[in-house]
Amino acid sequence: MAMLTSAFSFTRLRAQFIKEVLSVLRDPRSRMVVFVPPILQLLVFAFAATLEVRNVDIAVYNQDSGRWSQELVQRLDSAGFVNHVWRADSQQQLHGLVDRGEVIAALSIPVDFSRRIAAGEGGQAQLLVDGRRSNSGQITTAYLTTIAADIGAEVQPDAQATTPVLVRHGFNPNLVYRWFIVPGLTGILALFSALLITSLSIARERELGTFDQLLVSPTSTPEIIVSKSLPALVIGTALGLFMVAAGVFLFRIPFTGSFLLLLASLVLFIASVVGIGLMISAVSMTQQQAILGAFAIGVPAVLMSGFATPVENMPLVLQWLAQAIPLTHFLIIVEGSFLKAMPPADILSSLWPLALIALASLTMATFFVRGRLQ
């Protein structure tokens, strides 16, 4: 008993506990790592993570001038989840809006819709849903089908009418979940790979004690930055290409876009992430702080990128912040390259923001690292 008491003292345990708590609370960096990320992530998750669909655009091609088709269009205009209802003049224009991703769903109302509704036969309007956004598309389908079914129930409350909407899903007709999830994982896995490699680079040198040797070496600041960036750039790009190959050959996801444009997008995406990782590494004193910093940045970035929930569902401030996240733009490119032959003009519209983010992040990382080396 005496030996156990000497080996385990509650007094010493209490003293060590107080010491550890005070060491965390006294260190400004530790306070930032422990308290700030959970608070920020709570706020981001509460507003960005939602299974609701809001602020979506839909298109309508109304070939019927009857009462019930006008009533249906009016209810779509006033629906709380709809941001704007596009009026199409032809089936070709309707399909073009879905192809370009300008609307999540397109409703085609036939010429006999009102007559069939009045007769209790079901109007049989056709709904084309963007299958590239399968989760949001299915929720939008449920909303629109409910609105159309309510009209049929008002006309024939006791009749067992057929569903007034026929649903078709473009680009992913069978709603295969892997077709939606694997392209997104390409960006997410490459993001965390590059972010962790660069976040640990300078922090590891400082923790191992080799950072001082680096300071007195003849290596210039640009050489140090490039040497810290290239491994993450190569590994992140290789991992992204591996995921693309796995999607095509293992999961049999159609790849109909331009491989060269996708490769250019992937390199710019990884370059922008490398800049963010170097900034995290420059301000981290230990590898533990670097890892926590990488996840504190990476997890909200994934959530706000549109991977889990559409960006348009988020508050306006978060929508603006999402445009500064490299993954937001890369997901548009990689999903469009897999599920449809995204035109080069559409890819370039998401490619130039990636280039700007990469330039800004690498420039800021240069100043951060240079400040640490001086």
pLDDT digits over 162-186, tens only? 555 656 655 655 556 677 778 888 8
List pLDDT tens digits, range 80-97. 778 888 888 888 888 888
What was the pLDDT predicted at 257?
83
Kindly report which listed range (148-152, 198-202, 303-307, 332-336) carries the lowest average pLDDT score: 148-152
Query: Residue 7 above 70 pLDDT?
Result: no
Q: What is the pLDDT confidence band of residue 116, given thresholds at 50, 70 and 90?
A: confident
List pLDDT tens digits, range 278-332. 899 888 888 888 888 888 899 889 888 888 777 877 788 888 999 999 999 999 8
Which CATH architecture fits 56-170? 3-Layer(aba) Sandwich (3.40)
What was the pLDDT predicted at 94?
83
Mean pLDDT of the chain: 78
**Residue labelled with tokens 């963007």:** 130
- The larger pLDDT score, comparing residue 62 to residue 164, is at 62
Report the predicted TM-score, pTM, of the whole model to 2 decimal places: 0.66
Q: What is the mean pLDDT of residues 140-159?
A: 71
Say if CB 342 and CB 330 are below 8 A apart. Answer: no
Buried b (16+ CB within 10 A) or exposed e, 180-200: bbbbbebbbebbbbbbbbbbb
| Residue spans per domain, the chain | 56-170, 176-373
Q: Are strands 165-170 and 56-62 parallel, antiparallel or unpaired?
A: unpaired
